[in-house]
Amino acid sequence: MLTGTLVNCGGVIAGTALGLLLGKLIPKHLSDSVIKGVALCVFYIGVSGMLAGENTLVMIVSMVLGTIVGELLRLDDHLNALGDKIEKSFASHGLRGRVSEGFVTASLLYCVGAMAIVGSLEAGLTGSQATLYAKSILDAVSSIVYASTMGFGVALSAIPLFLYQGAITLGASLLSPVLTEVVIAEMKAVGSLLIVALSLNMLGLTKIKVMNSLPAMFFPILLCTFM
């Protein structure tokens, strides 16, 4: 059942390893330009995915309620604190780099999105791993680019990725009665909006605490059920 998620995590680790090798050959100004190019692609993916939703009110209410929950739980602070702790741990062993930035950015990029949710739900409900296999390829390529500039912190994102997608896959059977096509479409739309926010952060235009809005992705389940 978790085969697709395991392959996805393996792709991230393999992509990171290749990115670390290429990072020594790619000039910094070139890698920075590539990162911005990828950020624009992420922006496009987010905008196109937002069109999946049919009820703007569901998106708005989900974002408001989800962000309130995330802020109260201080999810962004906890994720960054974990990244900083990991970076200090590696630094104490003589390994320096943008470990925290790579860990946080990659974790959000790989977990916030329609493919992470839909693929995990498909794996749990039907056993199909096709979406997660496709996502594995995309994440592996992204890992090459990010690892070449941010270092091995990108590989560590495989841990929250496994926990996140694994939890959705294992819990899919419990949610199946309420996961209608409409609900999944609205979840895609909210997740895609978060991807847009992430891309703006990657471009250096904003400093949105995307992690604090992550709970918003699951509010369409409640809102569509009662609305």
CA angle in degrees (0–180, nearest 5) for 110-112-115: 75
- What are the distances in angstroms from CA 122 to CA 126, 133, 166, 173? 5, 12, 12, 10
Indicate if the pLDDT at residue 95 is higher than 80: no
| Residue 93, pLDDT score | 56
Contact partners, residue 39, CB within 8 Å, separation at least 6: 199, 202, 203
Residue 68 banded pLDDT, cuts 50, 70, 90: very high
Instruction: Provide DSSP, 150-185.
Output: HGGGGGGGHHHHHHHHHHHHHHHHHHTTT--HHHHH
Contact by Cβ (8 Å): 61, 189: no
Indicate if the pLDDT at residue 4 is higher than 90: yes
Cα Rg of the chain, angstroms: 17
| Residue 25, pLDDT score | 79
Query: What are the tokens at 135?
Result: 């996502």
Contact by Cβ (8 Å): 121, 178: no
Contact by Cβ (8 Å): 30, 183: no
Which of 10-14, 88-92, 184-188, 215-219 is predicted with the least confidence, judged by mean pLDDT?
88-92
Residue 156 banded pLDDT, cuts 50, 70, 90: very high
Most confident of 66-70, 85-89, 203-207: 66-70
Is the overall model pTM greater than 0.85, yes or no?
no
Average per-residue pLDDT for the chain? 86
- What are the distances in angstroms from CA 54 to CA 118, 188, 224? 17, 11, 11
| Residue 113, pLDDT score | 75
* Nearest-angstrom CA–CA distance, 177 and 88: 45
- What are the distances in angstroms from CA 44 to CA 51, 79, 145, 149, 154? 11, 26, 18, 22, 22
Indicate if the pLDDT at residue 73 is higher than 90: yes
